[in-house]
Structure 1
């Protein structure tokens, strides 16, 4: 009887222990799932591949507890750039500028791995279309007898799939950007062929818009949009006869009416492109004036998109300081004066100050 009771008690203890282990395991899986979801969300917000690799390394340490240290390897032109060991107890951040200055070593795993005693390692490969781009490597120190669990190997496989998806999306994004850039440059060249007096004008307005956007503290994405808006701001002029664009004298009302249509024509040409629809809006309003006397919609003040306001100043400055068929270029001093006079009339007061202080 005593033996039966003892066995029953021991069985209950085992069942309680199994139940506790089960819930602990469930909590661990839930924590891992949350970490992976967090990784996926942050992946969409990383700007560079280096940021992404750092993210993978950090999350790898969180998800794979056996790892003692890790390393990032980047393959570039058949050479491998690698970040020296990062230990678990150290902060999982590194000096990117210093990292970029490191000399490449030949892509040899013997060279890469022999600098630290290694027991076991997990390699999270970074590949795109079977091309090896690099790896995030997690190690177990040679001084211990640990090994990676089956769960850790599975997690590494999941991280590798996430990395592959990220690199594929990034590659597609770069391809889209390259295509957009080539289309915009082609359109800009078309205008240069149509009107020799505006050759180089688009490039100058684009550069000035980019510089002004940066000086005004805009985001990286907004700075890029300001640049491309400047490049395309006059594309609608390809529909205006050269005889009007290069007329050496005052325009008639009809001619001026046609000139004023060029922002709308540019908008209609660009608005249906998913990549250019924002730029289409900025181009449409680059001749609006702060006091509402501009065109095509007589917008006032902050009703005018900020990037349109930027392009407006850049366009006016380059137009004034460049030769035209109907006049010689103004001096920088005179152009500076005219920009200042039109502060709060034609141009945003704030952006005018930023331009005069930083750009002109």
Structure 2
């Protein structure tokens, strides 16, 4: 039992990476744990339900590649109740779920099975997948009550993982919808923004990855890049789209957009965490930026990333009153600004990253 608990806790700790963990990989890992913990089993499978159809994604002991090639089956043939289910004649049960051709392929892909222990992976009242262990040696059966408890524990963890994956996908999709709605609105307002926000987002994401920032920081670099200029919605349109030099008063209005953007984002629970980044992306390493005059490491790291991405795209983008700089010229400007406008370490890493990229990227 001690070994069982250690393995369950080990699997639970792996769920910390649920947002980026592949479902098939996680279920395969869970299945391998289960086979180590349940002495009666000699083989097993795992599957996922998508769009009401159920298909195999992992197998141990059986031919995984053949099972994965089988056509999907109606999810009604998976047990619908919570907890583990013993199926004494699994072949006759599956026979009803498959066509003749599929069943023939299934038999070729699997060892003879005398009893199966199936755990439906259910979250939110719906079946998301399954874990199953099979007895392939009569001398080792039947499954003990201890094995049923271990499988139920593993099944609960796997179901929770699938539920978390779905929640993260919904939240991320919602976050993107909010961000893209904001950008769409800004693009109608400020002609320069068209394409600029996405360019900055992608550059910021690449630089965050190159700097070795964590998974969440890399994601936030992208999201912050998408909405970094959202405060411009509150700047008069004739000022934003002016084709000549701005007056001091007009420039002062434009310089309010980071603070305005931070305030806009702070009203959304989904995007509030990006507010400080957006509010600081025009600060300078030497403290002469705006709006707060932060200097050096007082400036949030992602805001320093954003400053580089924003400046580079601004320099290389064509405007109605000028052509964009060549890549080499823009990178020379970044070098010149290292230690004054930009974080010096980040600036050199950005230049190195861009010099290794094709022209225009």
For the aligned pair, the TM-score class normalised by the smaller chain equals 0.7 to 0.9
CA contact 1:246–1:325 (8 Å) conserved in 2 = no
The correspondence of residues 282-321 of structure 1 with structure 2, limited to 5 A, is 282-321=277-316
1:36 is aligned to 8
CA contact 1:235–1:262 (8 Å) conserved in 2 = yes
CA distance in 1, matches of 2:180, 2:208: 20
- Match for residue 350 of structure 1 among 345, 350, 360: 345
SS of corresponding position for 1:44: helix
2:166 is aligned to 171
Is residue 185 of structure 2 the alignment partner of residue 185 of structure 1? no
How much has 1:129 moved relative to structure 2?
5.3
1:48 is aligned to 22
How much has 1:321 moved relative to structure 2?
1.2
1:233 is aligned to 228
CA contact 2:119–2:155 (8 Å) conserved in 1 = yes
- CA 1:354 to 1:128, structure 2 compared with 1: closer, same or farther past 3 Å? same
CA distance in 1, matches of 2:27, 2:182: 37
SS of corresponding position for 2:278: helix
Deviations 1:240-263 (A, max 9, x none): 111111223332222222111111
- Match for residue 138 of structure 1 among 123, 133, 136: 133
SS of corresponding position for 1:189: helix
CA contact 1:282–1:307 (8 Å) conserved in 2 = yes
TM-score by length of 1: 0.80
- RMSD, aligned CA: 2.7
SS of corresponding position for 1:83: strand
CA distance in 2, matches of 1:133, 1:62: 24
CA contact 1:240–1:258 (8 Å) conserved in 2 = yes
Unaligned runs of 5+ in 1: 1-27, 88-98
2:81 is aligned to none
Larger Rg: 1
CA contact 1:211–1:359 (8 Å) conserved in 2 = no
- CA 1:240 to 1:223, structure 2 compared with 1: closer, same or farther past 3 Å? same
TM-score by length of 2: 0.80
- CA 1:102 to 1:261, structure 2 compared with 1: closer, same or farther past 3 Å? farther
1:106 is aligned to 71
2:55 is aligned to 80
- CA 1:194 to 1:222, structure 2 compared with 1: closer, same or farther past 3 Å? same
CA distance in 1, matches of 2:38, 2:28: 15
Unaligned runs of 5+ in 2: 74-93, 95-102, 356-361
2:89 is aligned to none
